[in-house]
Structures are given as structure tokens and as C-alpha cells.
Amino acid sequence: MALQNYIRLDDALCAYVRTHQSGAGDPLFLDLREETMRLGAVAEMMIPEEEAALLSILVGTMRAQRAIEIGTFTGASGRAIARGLTEGGKLLSLDRSEEWTRIARAFWRRAGVDDRIELRLGPALSSLEELEADSSFDFAFVDADKTSYEAYYEALLPRMRPGGLLVFDNMLREGRVLGGDLRHDPDTEAIARLNDKLREDSRIEGVLLPVADGIYLCRKKRQEWDLLPE
């Protein structure tokens, strides 16, 4: 008999989760969500409040000072990460949209974290290639075009410090990763392939969590002995 020590979240339980976190119902977050909703269907790309809270806690727990995100959108994840950074910490935020990041910049100013964030516009892989050779990060968050996730992973991992944390968003694709033939859904196919790769990659320790639309936490292994088979 399979041990089912988990619970299925319906709308009521999701609402309960969202109202039982520190700072739930933050007015600034709600204002940003309202402004983001005016963009139309793309507003669904904004991370939910409980995921933002988790990012802040992860960054703060690590005492991260150098962070990077790929996919700024309207700034919710950037604010969450910046809030968790140690004193003097910096977040490099990469995106391609001037329209969406204009909202992010204004929101960051209101939140008082704009001095901790550097925004660079352009293709993320090109921006990563242009970084100084010795640039490294404690924390990375990826929430951008899904077909490029594996490329982002391979570009970021060498720049993560040993013990650093790399977080991918939308790793369950609303359950579509369970689908059979994904050839007509290239985004989900790319995510499913990366989930499999992360499970087997000896360079990291990883766990896929059913938070929001699924997040994958990857810790870069610290020492050579960390790479030994268990």
C-alpha cells in the first residue's frame, strides 16, 4: 500500500495557506498585483505572495549577498529577493521588456529596495556571457522562457558559489508535466526534461516542491567529497 502523506490543495486550502504567512496581504504586493492585472493575460506570470515570502526567507537564511534573477516581469520576485539580502547585498535582474520592467522599477522605488537591484535589459544568455569571468552568485531565481531553462541552468551553475542555491519556477506546469506526448507543448517538454536532468545531476542536490506552480531548489555541492556516490 502506498503511503499518501500529502494533501491535495483546493481553492479553500490555498487561500488558507496564503493568509497564514508573515506579512500576508502586504499592501504594496496587492498594489503591484492590481497594476499587473491591467496587463491582461500575461499577469498570470506574476509569482503569488506565498512564493515571494519563501524567496525572501531562503535568501535571508542563506545570508546571501550576491543574487541574480532571470525574468523580472513586474518586479515581485526582485523585491522578495532584495528584501532578504544581507547589508550591502545586490541583485542583478535580467529581462527583455521595457514595458514590464518600468512597472518593476517604480515598485522597487516604493518598496525602498531599488538601490539593491541592478536591472539589465536584453537576452539573458548574452547578459550572462558579458559578466566578468569571476562573477559569482549565492542565489539565483529563474522564471523566464521555459525552453531556455536548461541553457540558463548550464550558464548559471558554474557561477554559483559552492553551497549556493538555484531556484526554478513553474516546474509542474499546472500538472502538464504528467502528460504523455509533449511534442506539441515545447515549454512543458523542456520543463519535464529539466526535471529529469536535475534529479540525476551529481553536481547538485535538488528537491521539487509543490509550491505555487512547482519550484525546483538546487544546491550546488560544496566539496569534492560532496560528489561521492552515497
Q: How far is CA 140 from CA 18, 21, 24, 34, 224, in A?
A: 24, 23, 24, 26, 22
Every domain of the chain and the residues it spans: 47-224
Give the integer Cα–Cα distance in Å for 207 and 168.
11
Topology (CATH) of 47-224: Rossmann fold (3.40.50)
Position 222 scores a pLDDT of 83
Position 18 scores a pLDDT of 87
Position 226 scores a pLDDT of 57
For residue 84, which amino acid is it?
G
Position 201 scores a pLDDT of 97
| Phi, psi dihedrals of residue 13, rounded to the nearest 5° | -70, -35
Q: Tell me the three cell numbers of residue 83.
A: 528584501
Per-10-residue mean pLDDT, the chain, length 230: 77 90 91 96 95 96 97 98 97 97 97 97 96 94 97 97 97 89 86 96 96 96 62
Position 43 scores a pLDDT of 96
Position 179 scores a pLDDT of 80
